[in-house]
């Protein structure tokens, strides 16, 4: 018997991480795939007349064990990977693509789903059932159910290859990230760098048997270094290394992968009758079509660009007067922006960090959630963890009823990818009269405590924690019948609303006073610092907006046209960035080759959704500003209509049920100070 046989005999049906080895996964996957196939065959071969329950609902619950094993495995591949797990990923990825195609290209199964779809008007289905039926039917059509056998076979091959290429892309980026070390041995080389970052770099050097300090491309090391080091040449060195990931002409070079992935996606979309990959993706998004996305981004760009140009001129003049810098380069951006922000607002992330001890921020985000959504968080130690740094919490309502489990993984390590994300180890759903509660996880990369200081967060990291926790709330407060519609199983341009709206509480005095206290003195964050945070919240907002728009336009450039004529990744990227760049191009760098969001993750043709969701969250938070940031009526409506409903209805309908109207883009511009 394999340890991954499901269900687990553990508290809350949690994953027995410590008992699982990489060798367990491949046989477990093969067994679960075989089991899933037999469940699918039973639905497809049923002699019963097709109806919603025996076909559509049954299909959504099929292959449950495979879904659980997949979530465990791919989460570990992101947060605690190694060579053995990566080898399994390469082997299992095509098997999963093949299994998915076995379902979606199964003619008998599709005939049953189509039969239910065509008679839905007679079935008296509720909104959730109609949504699930529509999703299932479209999943078949969008994956080739109406194709001839030859085209179906081609689709299978494309999906297999895409699965492998995306994995390789991510492995190359991680390998280049891990490979770089900036080893400094002279005191003068660390001038300006925050003490906490210096201490972490010292500890890393010692762990490798070296003197001095080692800085890396992992965010907790890279960001403070590029932001604060006074040594311009060192900033250049680390920035060039960061920007050249996947672009070095070696075994980890991603240029061919980028071109191949883009072309395969285009070919797949054309095979299915779509103009290009963007048309295919956006059919299942709030935006609906690439033209609307392009218009949305270009209209935002037109409003943000004048402010951004003025901000860049201000930054250039500041650097010229301060240090006689004739022309700003990309590696100067964070450094001089931070210096200018300090001068304008008397605000310094390093002065703020003592007020944001990690444990206090965790308590703070829990207290904010408690006041908004009537939740209680208790740290527990009776469930297994995949790494000793991971913390585990039981989430209950105020009456003590069990709501969810939360895993929290905060610190960087070699087997963990950069960035921050939320994921799930178990989805919420209702089955046989039982409401199966979810297991959510938030993963970040914050600096660990050192010998002299606890883990202290920058204000940006505080917002990151609130952001990912917002995603976790979306998963933990789910209350739907079907796993395929639960929690974050929503349109991509809607999924960021719960996360981005939570960031707003980081700027509110009522929320900050709950946790922003000096870790040594207990002093609450002084009002003048709080005001500085608020005043600086729109600092360089024009440039930041243009930067995000540029990423969205780059994404569209790869996916909203025929990429077969593109031969030079860098040249294509430069053209896509025209009109959005402020700094001179760096010949040795290329963003596309490490743009994991679109070439490894799920954001292809969807990167615009960050700005799209910002419109939603700015408009939504205006309601809390009107009624009160902890107003029960507003928070109850948000919980009921947004967090609990998952993907059970069209997201615009859910939003209007919460807000009473469609979102107004001017809300974002007002908040950003661009109106």
pLDDT digits (tens, 9 = 90+) for 408-433: 999 999 999 888 999 999 999 999 99
User: Residues 568-579: what's their mean pLDDT?
Assistant: 97
Query: Over the chain, what is the mean pLDDT?
Result: 95
pLDDT digits (tens, 9 = 90+) for 204-213: 999 999 999 9
Residue 220 has pLDDT above 90, yes or no: no
Question: Does pTM top 0.75 for this prediction?
Answer: yes
Tokens at 107, concatenated: 């003619």
Distance CA 326, CA 316 (A): 8
CATH of 354-493, one of 3.40.390.10, 3.90.45.10, 3.40.50.11540, 3.40.190.10: 3.40.390.10
pLDDT digits (tens, 9 = 90+) for 6-59: 678 899 999 999 999 999 999 999 999 999 999 999 999 999 999 999 999 999
Q: What is the pLDDT of residue 285?
A: 92
Complete DSSP assignment for 368-431:
HHHHHH-EEEEE--SS--SSTT-EEEEEEETT--EEEEEEEE----TTS-SS-EEEEEE--EEE
Q: What is the pLDDT of residue 566?
A: 97
Distance CA 273, CA 626 (A): 47
Q: What is the pLDDT of residue 577?
A: 97
CA dihedral 405, 437, 486, 422 (to 10 degrees): 10
- Domain 11-146 grouped into CATH 1.20.1050.40: yes
Residue 492 has pLDDT above 90, yes or no: no
Residue 599 has pLDDT above 90, yes or no: yes
Band of pLDDT at residue 530, cut at 50, 70 and 90: confident
Of 3-12, 109-118, 256-265, which gets the smallest average pLDDT? 3-12
Q: What is the pLDDT of residue 207?
A: 96
The arrangement of strands across the sheet holding 439-443 comes to 375-379, 391-397, 402-409, 439-443, 421-426
Band of pLDDT at residue 594, cut at 50, 70 and 90: very high
User: Residues 528-547: what's their mean pLDDT?
Assistant: 90
Q: What is the pLDDT of residue 604?
A: 96
Distance CA 549, CA 458 (A): 25
Residue 448 has pLDDT above 80, yes or no: yes
**CATH code 3.40.390.10 region(s) in the chain:** 354-493
**CATH code 1.20.1050.40 region(s) in the chain:** 11-146
Q: Which residues are part of the catalytic machinery?
A: 468
User: Residues 91-109: what's their mean pLDDT?
Assistant: 91
Q: What is the pLDDT of residue 348?
A: 76
pLDDT digits (tens, 9 = 90+) for 115-174: 999 999 999 999 999 999 999 999 999 989 999 999 999 998 999 999 999 999 999 999
Distance CA 468, CA 162 (A): 28
Q: What is the pLDDT of residue 6?
A: 67
Residue 346 has pLDDT above 90, yes or no: no
Residue 454 has pLDDT above 90, yes or no: yes
């Amino acid at each position: 018997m394999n340890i991954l046989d499901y269900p687990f005999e553990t508290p809350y049906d949690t994953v027995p991480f410590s008992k699982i080895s990489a060798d367990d996964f491949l046989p477990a996957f093969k067994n679960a795939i075989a089991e899933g196939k037999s469940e699918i065959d039973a639905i497809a071969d049923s002699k019963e007349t097709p109806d919603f329950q025996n076909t559509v609902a049954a299909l959504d619950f099929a292959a449950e064990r495979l879904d659980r094993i997949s979530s465990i495995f791919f989460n570990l591949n992101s947060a605690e990977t190694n060579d053995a797990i990566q080898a399994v990923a390469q082997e299992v990825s095509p098997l999963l693509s093949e299994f998915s195609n076995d379902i979606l290209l199964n003619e008998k199964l599709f005939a049953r789903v189509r039969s239910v779809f065509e008679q839905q008007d007679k079935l008296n289905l509720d909104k959730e059932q109609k949504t699930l039926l529509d999703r299932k039917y479209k999943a078949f059509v969008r994956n080739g159910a109406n194709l001839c056998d030859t085209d179906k076979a081609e689709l299978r091959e494309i999906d297999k290859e895409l699965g492998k290429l995306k994995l390789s892309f991510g492995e190359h980026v991680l390998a280049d990230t891990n490979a770089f070390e900036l080893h400094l041995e002279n005191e003068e080389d660390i001038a300006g760098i925050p003490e906490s970052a210096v201490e972490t770099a010292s500890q890393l050097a010692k762990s490798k048997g070296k003197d001095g300090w080692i800085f890396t491309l992992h965010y907790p090391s890279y960001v403070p270094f590029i932001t604060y080091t006074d040594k311009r040449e060192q900033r250049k060195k680390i920035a060039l290394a960061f920007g050249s990931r996947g672009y070095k002409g070696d075994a980890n070079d991603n240029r061919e992968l980028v071109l191949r992935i883009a072309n395969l996606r285009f070919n797949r979309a054309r095979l299915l009758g779509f103009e290009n990959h963007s048309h295919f993706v956006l059919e299942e998004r709030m935006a609906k079509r690439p033209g609307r996305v392009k218009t949305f981004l270009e209209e935002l760009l037109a409003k943000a660009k004048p402010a951004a140009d003025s901000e860049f001129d201000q930054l250039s003049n500041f650097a010229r007067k301060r240090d006689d810098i004739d022309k700003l380069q990309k590696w100067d951006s964070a450094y001089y922006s931070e210096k200018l922000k300090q001068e304008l607002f008397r605000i310094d992330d390093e002065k703020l960090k003592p007020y944001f001890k990690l444990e206090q921020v965790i308590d703070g985000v829990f207290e904010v959630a408690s006041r908004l959504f009537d939740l209680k968080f208790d740290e527990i130690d009776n469930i297994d963890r995949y790494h000793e740094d991971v913390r585990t919490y039981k989430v209950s309502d105020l009456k003590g009823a069990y709501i969810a489990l939360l895993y929290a993984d905060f610190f960087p390590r070699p087997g963990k990818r950069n960035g921050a994300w939320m994921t799930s180890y178990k989805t919420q759903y209702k089955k046989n009269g039982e409401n199966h509660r979810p297991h959510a996880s938030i993963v970040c990369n914050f600096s660990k405590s050192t010998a002299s200081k606890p883990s202290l967060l920058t204000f940006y990291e505080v917002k990151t924690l609130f952001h990912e926790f917002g995603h976790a709330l979306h998963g933990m407060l789910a209350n739907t019948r079907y796993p395929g519609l639960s929690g974050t199983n929503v349109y991509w341009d809607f999924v960021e609303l719960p996360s981005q709206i939570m960031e707003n509480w980081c700027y509110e005095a009522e929320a900050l006073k709950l946790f922003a206290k000096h870790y040594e003195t207990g002093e609450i964050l002084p009002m003048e610092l709080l005001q500085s945070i608020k005043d600086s919240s729109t600092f360089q907002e024009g440039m930041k907006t243009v930067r995000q728009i540029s990423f969205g336009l780059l994404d569209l450039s790869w996916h909203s046209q025929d990429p077969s004529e593109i031969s030079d990744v860098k040249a294509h990227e430069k053209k896509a960035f025209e009109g959005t760049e402020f700094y001179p191009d760096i010949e040795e760098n290329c963003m596309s080759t490490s743009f994991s969001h679109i070439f490894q993750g799920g954001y292809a043709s969807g990167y615009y959704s960050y700005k799209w969701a910002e419109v939603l969250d700015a408009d939504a938070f205006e309601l809390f500003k009107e009624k009160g940031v902890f107003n029960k009526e507003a928070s109850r409506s948000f919980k009921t209509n947004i967090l609990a409903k998952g993907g059970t209805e069209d997201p615009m309908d859910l939003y209007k049920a919460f807000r009473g109207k469609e979102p107004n883009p001017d809300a974002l511009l007002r908040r950003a100070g661009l109106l």
